[in-house]
Copies of this chain bind each other. A is one copy, B any other.
């Protein structure tokens, strides 16, 4: 997260996106650095028959879409507002200038990329070798540490829909629903009027 003051000093502008509005699309070349001021954004892919895979979900103060910006490559996925969102856009040249003039920002960027790489490593191994219950629990436990799940008397509220869990783990909704029920039966999590707690 880069402070709004610094972003604005280098010419970042605020832009509003409606719920479900596309922020950028797979296949286009990046021209901005994006950082969320408010709202929620997902990055995802759609395969040929419309099946979605969610690469990640991002919240307030988080940035997204940097890798292709640094590599001059096309975006490998779409960015879509999950809620009405306000986002800082900083043009690439200004962003690079900011990095050059503020070496400490580089360290922040590195830590951020490292964190995302870590998540992807863990989930990649899960998705390709583990069974549904393991995958879902791993996602949830990661979410408790890194997404903004709130804790109350029932435990952490997992505020993902079953569909989202499926799209993040490579499972179908029905499988997620059945898996969550099985995990409840085993005492790994609680379902209180359809909401999932851990």
Which positions in A face B, CB cutoff 8 Å?
45, 47, 51-53, 55, 66-68, 70-71, 73, 76-77, 99, 103, 106-107, 109-111, 113-118, 120-125, 127-130, 169-170
Q: Is the CB of B106 within 8 A of A67?
A: no
Which residues of the partner chain B approach A68 to less than 8 Å between Cβ atoms? 114, 118
* Of B66, B117, B127, B130, the contact of A127 (CB 8 Å cutoff): B127
- Known contacts A129-B45, A170-B127; A55/B111 CB under 8 A: no
Q: Is the CB of A128 within 8 A of B170?
A: yes
Q: 20 extra interchain contacts, Cβ-Cβ under 8 A, other than A47-B125, A77-B121?
A: A52-B129, A53-B124, A55-B121, A55-B124, A67-B113, A67-B115, A68-B114, A70-B114, A71-B111, A71-B114, A77-B125, A103-B106, A106-B110, A110-B113, A113-B114, A123-B124, A124-B127, A127-B127, A127-B170, A128-B169
